[in-house]
Structure formats: structure tokens, C-alpha cells
Amino acid sequence: MSVPRIRKNDIVAAVTGTSKGKTGKVLQVVKSGKRAIVEGLNPVKKTMRKSQDNPHGGIVQKDAAIDVSNLMLFCPSCKKGVRIGRDKDGDRRIRRCRACRHSFDG
């Protein structure tokens, strides 16, 4: 069984793109596992049609999905985006920072 690199509620840093250098919390990992929606990263403007819920319509800003290859886990002790390694902790596999060995999974 493989351990996903990025999961929901992780704090990540953007490595490339218009949001480069920013950090945010992962709100959702898209089903394929290749894209994630991160709070505050990759904002897009979407036009809303008039409806009963939204009687005036208008333009709404929301966060779009960003490719997982453009994200790195943010290590609180290193204070930057880091590569991760996978170690066994008893019968579980956990994600660790390669630089300082900080555990991201409890």
C-alpha cells in the first residue's frame, strides 16, 4: 500500500506557478490524487449566473485545483517546503521530513 505524499489538512508550500512561495492548508485532494485544492493558492474568478440562491449573480473568487507536483509539505521545524521520506513505525508507514526527521503523521 502506498502512502500519499499530500493529504487533506496538510500545510503545503507552492514551489512553482503564480503562487510560488505561499503556503496554505489542503482543503481537498481531487479523486485522481494528482491535484489538490489549497486554501489561498491558485485563486481564480468565476462568474455566477443569477439564481434564487444568488439573486444578483456576480463574480466570485475561489481557489482552483493545483497539481501536486507543484506542492511540497511545509515542515514547521525547518520553516520551508521539504522533501519527505517514508519510514515504518511498527505496522504503520509514516511520512518524515528528510532534513530534520519531523513526523507528519502523528
Q: How confident is the model at residue 23 (pLDDT cuts 50, 70, 90)?
A: very high
Q: Going by C-beta distance under 8 Å and a sequence separation of 6 or more, which residues neighbour residue 98?
A: 82, 83, 84, 85
pLDDT at 13 over 60: yes
pLDDT given for residue 1 in this prediction:
43
Total structural domains within the chain = 1
Average pLDDT over residues 101-106: 86
pLDDT given for residue 89 in this prediction:
85
All three cell numbers of 4: 500519499
- Whole domain around residue 35: which residue ranges? 11-48+60-81
* In a domain? residue 1: no
What is the tens place of the pLDDT at every residue in 60-98? Answer: 999 999 999 999 999 999 999 999 999 998 888 899 999
Helix, strand, coil share (%) of the chain residues, nearest 5:
5, 50, 50
Decide: helix, strand or coil at residue 5: coil
Q: Which CATH number do you get for residue 28? A: 2.30.30.30
Instruction: Specify the pTM.
Output: 0.83
